[in-house]
Amino acid sequence: MKKVVVLFAILTMVLSAFSITITMTAGAVGRELEVLYEQVAMFMEENPDITVNVLPMPNSSTDRHDLYVTYLASGTPDPDVLMLDVIWPAEFAPFLVDLTDDYDYFGLDGFFPGTVASNTVDGRLVAVPWFTDAGILYYRKDLLEKYGYDVPETWDELYTAAKDISAKEGINGFVWQGARYEGLTCDVMEFVHSFGGEIMKDGKVVVDDPEYYDNNLAAITFMNKLILDGASPRGVTTYMEEEARRVFQNGDAVFMRNWPYAWSLANTPESPVAGKVGITVLPKGPAPDGRNSATLGGWNLGINANSSPAEVEASKKLIKFLVSKEQQVYKAVYTGQTPTMVEAYNDPRTIEANDFYPDILDVFVNAEPRPVSPIYNEISREIQVAVHQVLTGQSTPERALDSLARNLKSLVE
């Protein structure tokens, strides 16, 4: 018995000299985690010398942030591969391995430029885009048809249709994310950009620049008008993604702004609106500055700078595998999460599983990043507070924009 134990110990030591274990964090939204386990199994089959442990994370991005903060601040070498929200690279950059020289290794020329740019901090590439996200408009095909409306191209058209149909049907018009949290910043950026406004540009605060101020004001005023006039329910000021999706999927709203993940859920057989939903780009603001805009979301893979060189090498291999075209297609087919590589959209398997992709490919290509800054959290919070105060009737659009400009300047200066 003793001999066996000794032999086993020696064997493990010999084996471990040649093999390496790395840890990777992962989300568990929808089928995400299951699919990752399958992908990791494939990877380990191709690379028998590498063992990958998957560490599931909470669903909320804020809770994940809290966990990463404790990992990184304590300087622990685990986890090696970090799944990062698109807004974190600037903040976490000092803790991440510099991947600038591996640009070609990961084949980043074939990726959406916006997703790569959002992972580049001061010219340093710190993470690789894994899957992307962008805000899109969901609408009820059956109801638009019933009342003779076209798919809205401008916010005013959406407003008219939402008000009219919701009144006649006795349901809500347009639901979106109005609770005071990160999602509100995403929605605000879409309204502001589509009206031709801008909050930050090249690291400078431009909220009250004469060039943007009027458009910013018009955008915030319009958001407020949606609620005041009943085109959106007053409850949107408490909605996050899932609250909005529940209302829409239950058949209780005409329009919804959300991320692409809601598509497959809205079309499950037990969904009351299955087959009645259409999706399109978010509407344009009014002429002359109005345009379509979608906020860039998505998740990236970075490497912990405290990992050993051998772990870093193994982590790079894993990342290269996960972001390869084949695996992006696999992920798109089984989770519905949208690839970051242009090629993956041309694959028939991707299109077959997600037939709406070709229609909104442009949305992903042109998705606009939120301000890139190491103090992004603070900037985002100021935006959330200012707009949420307007939406809940505690401030006027003018006063909120003035205080937003003042507070942002005191943060950035």
Partner 1 sequence: MKVKGTYKRSDIWLAFWLIIPTLIAIGITAFYPLGQTLYDSFFKWSLRPGFEREFVGFQNYINLFQDPRFLSSLWNTIYFTFFSVVIEFLLGLGTALILNADFKLRGLVRAAVLIPWAIPTAVSSQMWKWMYNDQYGVISIMLYNLGILEEGTPILGTPGMAMAAIIGVDVWKTTPFVALLLLAGLQTIPNELYEAARIDGANIWKQFTSITLPVLRPTIGVTLIFRTLDALRVFDIVYIMTQGSVGTETLAVYNRSLLMDNIFSPRGLFGYGSALSVVIFLIIGIFTLIYIRSLNIKLD
Q: Tally DSSP H helices, then E strands, for the chain.
A: 18, 14
Judged by beta carbon, residue 304 or residue 338, the one nearer partner 1 is: 304
* Residue 337 DSSP label: P
Q: 260 near 367, Cβ under 8 Å?
A: no
DSSP secondary structure of 362-386 = HHHHTPBPPPP-TTHHHHHHHHHHH
Q: How far is the CB of 213 from partner 1 (least distance, A)?
A: 24
Judged by beta carbon, residue 160 or residue 392, the one nearer partner 1 is: 392
Q: How far is the CB of 391 from partner 1 (least distance, A)?
A: 8
Strand 50-56 versus strand 277-280 pairing type: unpaired
Judged by beta carbon, residue 96 or residue 367, the one nearer partner 1 is: 96
Q: How far is the CB of 249 from partner 1 (least distance, A)?
A: 12
Q: How far is the CB of 136 from partner 1 (least distance, A)?
A: 22
Q: Interface with partner 1 by CB under 8 A: which residues?
A: 62, 65-66, 69, 72-73, 91-92, 94-95, 172, 178-181, 233-238, 243, 246-247, 250, 252, 374-375, 377-378, 381, 388, 392-394, 411
Q: How far is the CB of 237 from partner 1 (least distance, A)?
A: 4
Q: How far is the CB of 119 from partner 1 (least distance, A)?
A: 17
d(CA 368, CA 320): 25
d(CA 401, CA 91): 25
Structure tokens at 383: 């935006």
Structure tokens at 309: 């060189």
Dihedral sign for Cα atoms in the order 224, 114, 130, 331:
positive
Judged by beta carbon, residue 92 or residue 345, the one nearer partner 1 is: 92
The number of CA neighbours under 13 Å toward the Cβ of 366 is 14
Query: Can you tell me whether residue 195 is helix, strand or coil?
Result: coil
Judged by beta carbon, residue 245 or residue 331, the one nearer partner 1 is: 245
Q: Which residues touch 346 (CB under 8 Å, ≥6 apart)?
A: none
Q: Which residues touch 361 (CB under 8 Å, ≥6 apart)?
A: 345
Q: 402 near 208, Cβ under 8 Å?
A: yes
Judged by beta carbon, residue 5 or residue 73, the one nearer partner 1 is: 73
Q: How far is the CB of 374 from partner 1 (least distance, A)?
A: 5
Q: How far is the CB of 118 from partner 1 (least distance, A)?
A: 18
Phi (first) and psi of residue 262, to 5 degrees: -70, -20
Structure tokens at 129: 């885009």
Judged by beta carbon, residue 71 or residue 213, the one nearer partner 1 is: 71
Q: Find the length of the chain.
A: 413
Judged by beta carbon, residue 293 or residue 373, the one nearer partner 1 is: 373
